[in-house]
Amino acid sequence: MAGGSDTPPPVPEPADGQSPRIGVDEWVASVEGRRDRGKGVVGYVRGEFARVPRPAFYLAFGIAAAFLPAVTNNGYAIRVGFNTLLYMLLALGLNIVVGYAGLLDLGYVAFYGFGAYGYAMLASPKFGIHWDTLAVIPVVVIATAALGFLVALPSRRLVGDYLAIVTLFFGQLFVSVYTNGERMSFLGLTRSYDVTGGPNGIPNVDNFNAFGHQVSSLQAYFYVALVMFLVVLGAVYLVERSRTGRAWMSLREDPLAAELMGMPVNRLKLIAFAAGAAIAGLTGTVFAALNTAVFSADFDVPTLIIIYAILILGGAGTLGGVILGALVVNVSLEVLRTPGHATWIFYTLIVATLVAKLRPWRWLAAVAAGTIGFGFAVHAIVAATWAAGVDGQPAVGGILGSGLRHWVVLPASPRTIGNVAFIGLIFAVLLLTTLQGWVRKLVLIPTLYLTAFVWENRLVVEPSITRLILIGVILIVLMNARPQGLLGSQRVEIV
């Protein structure tokens, strides 16, 4: 079955009565499903898992998330949770355009920004308008959907790459207009008006308020975002199964075939764009309300790339993937900001990857022993020849830290040598991908050590840059190794 949807593999129909169906060998027909599941306990668990209906998972996620503000009072943790929910919402919208309909929309953040600015203009002292939230949200969502419709209108003739180009420039145009919007005049004919506040954005945006109640605490916003997410998720789940959803997927698989089958291809594209844009606009309103200010810089390419990374990592076209992708990308990258935690996660990830990928076991043992021995040897040599080379302190304390101090070379001034090592590491990893067999394992040992060296001396010190570098790497590696993402199923391209 072609298609990245997360429907469970079709269970072969039970043969009615006792007579086996003619022309169908059920054992053969179901072999792929069984092969995917694997054998033994793992296979059994995965089989049972696949039987649970999808909405149960979404509900379980919703309940688990609802407990977050209850278990922690930590404002930072709730804030991260809130941001993750926003990214999930954004990824849901993008999922419709890219995941279902297969249209590469690189101007998606513009709709997010449009929603945020729309809310800020209708509920702030900027123009003295203070509408009720229940009025603002429908207006903004409909306006964003209309904008999406307008962008798609000329784009529907453009296929593939050209669509990507036009939407990318639409996004750039948007950022440019909002950044310079403090002196706008209509074609230079009228006098200048301050529409967007330019680089200063729009400050003092109102809180959400409805029926005389204000949403003011972070916890409350978290719940607002959670409810929004679950409602949108439910809607998208239903749409996925509807005629429109299935038509989108057929459009993604083969537009020509879809059109020949009588699908209204152009209308489907327009609806997909408008629906994605509407969700982005909705997300923008919550974003603006919690942050009480909007700036054009929040709606530029880096945000776009993070949303894409989330969607791709989870698997475009799957709803569970959106949740998983946002959790992995946003939470893990947020954790990276604390050097102590980041270091633990970093080494755990490396060890886990090695354990999962390196077989047979004796190779794993050999590489692990080799890396540890190599590290101590290098450390001893450096300590003997260059005293300042081992003066630094690792970013993590405790047992890991004291172990690392005797293993990784930590120069007192690591900047330059760390940069050189970083470039060296890129080449080492590239080299590694071209090698095979035992040579590969041999090169793996110094590469692992170099990775630790670069991490301790350079990456952990610059968390905000490391975050962005990692997102770039995720996109490249994932597209090359597993283009369907974590939860997607392999698609077969028929050319």
Partner 1 sequence: MNWNLFLTELVSGVTHGSVYALIALGYSMVYGVLKLLNFAHGDIYMVGSYIGFGLITVFGGAQTLSTSVWVLLPLMFICAMLGGGLLGVLIERFAYRRLRNAPRIAPLITALGVSFFLENAALLVLGAQYQSYNSFSWKGGELWREGLMLPAGVHLAVAQIVVVVGAVVLMVFLTLFVQRTQLGKAMRATSFDREAAAMMGIDVDRVIVATFFIGSALAGAAGVFNGLAYQQVWPYMGFQAGLYAFIAAVVGGIGNLPGAVVGGLVIGLAQSLSIGYISSTFSDAIVFAVLIAVMIVRPSGLLGRAAVQKV
Residues that bind partner 1 (CB under 8 A): 98, 102, 104, 154, 157-162, 164-166, 168-170, 172-173, 176-177, 180, 183, 188, 255-256, 259, 265, 301-302, 305, 308, 312, 419, 422-423, 426, 430, 433, 458-459, 462, 465-466, 468-469, 471-476, 479-480, 483, 491, 493, 495
DSSP codes, 195-239: -S-GGG-B-SPPPEEETTEEE-SHHHHHHHHHHHHHHHHHHHHHH
Q: Which lies closer to partner 1 via its Cβ, residue 445 or residue 471?
A: 471
Q: How far is the CB of 479 from partner 1 (least distance, A)?
A: 4
Residue pair 188/195 in contact (Cβ under 8 Å)? The answer is no
Q: Which lies closer to partner 1 via its Cβ, residue 246 or residue 491?
A: 491
Q: How far is the CB of 276 from partner 1 (least distance, A)?
A: 15
> From residue 294, how far is each of 81, 201, 211, 216, 231 by CA, in Å?
20, 5, 25, 17, 25
Q: Which lies closer to partner 1 via its Cβ, residue 111 or residue 119?
A: 111
Largest CA distance in the chain: 84
Tell me the C-alpha distance between 228 and 238, whole Å: 15
Q: How far is the CB of 127 from partner 1 (least distance, A)?
A: 22
Q: Which lies closer to partner 1 via its Cβ, residue 275 or residue 316?
A: 316
Residue pair 422/429 in contact (Cβ under 8 Å)? The answer is no
Q: CA neighbours within 13 Å on the CB side: how many for 409?
A: 26
Q: How far is the CB of 358 from partner 1 (least distance, A)?
A: 21
Q: Which lies closer to partner 1 via its Cβ, residue 178 or residue 222?
A: 178
Q: How far is the CB of 172 from partner 1 (least distance, A)?
A: 6
Strands 213-215 and 208-210, how do they pair? antiparallel
Q: How far is the CB of 478 from partner 1 (least distance, A)?
A: 8
Q: How far is the CB of 135 from partner 1 (least distance, A)?
A: 31
Q: Which lies closer to partner 1 via its Cβ, residue 30 or residue 484?
A: 484
Peptide bond into 360 cis (omega under 30): yes
Residue pair 336/345 in contact (Cβ under 8 Å)? The answer is yes
Q: Which lies closer to partner 1 via its Cβ, residue 171 or residue 394?
A: 171
101-117 b/e with 16+ CB inside 10 Å = b? Answer: bbbbbbbbbbbbbbbbb
Nearest alpha carbon to residue 199 among 230, 176, 171: 176
Tell me the C-alpha distance between 113 and 299, whole Å: 6
Q: Which lies closer to partner 1 via its Cβ, residue 183 or residue 213?
A: 183
Tell me the C-alpha distance between 335 and 358, whole Å: 27
Q: How far is the CB of 3 from partner 1 (least distance, A)?
A: 13
Gyration radius of the chain's alpha carbons: 26
Cβ neighbours for 373, distance < 8 A, ≥ 6 positions apart = none
CA angle 418, 421, 422 (to 5 degrees): 85
Tell me the C-alpha distance between 194 and 114, whole Å: 17
Q: Which lies closer to partner 1 via its Cβ, residue 37 or residue 491?
A: 491
Q: How far is the CB of 429 from partner 1 (least distance, A)?
A: 9
Tell me the C-alpha distance between 320 and 233, whole Å: 10
Q: How far is the CB of 192 from partner 1 (least distance, A)?
A: 10
Beta bridge partner(s), residue 294: 202
Where do we find the tokens 């003739």? 157
Cβ neighbours for 413, distance < 8 A, ≥ 6 positions apart = 388
Beta bridge partner(s), residue 124: 129
Name residue 313's amino acid.
L
Residue pair 140/284 in contact (Cβ under 8 Å)? The answer is yes
Q: Which lies closer to partner 1 via its Cβ, residue 16 or residue 493?
A: 493
Q: Which lies closer to partner 1 via its Cβ, residue 61 or residue 170?
A: 170
Q: Which lies closer to partner 1 via its Cβ, residue 89 or residue 103?
A: 103
Q: How far is the CB of 160 from partner 1 (least distance, A)?
A: 5
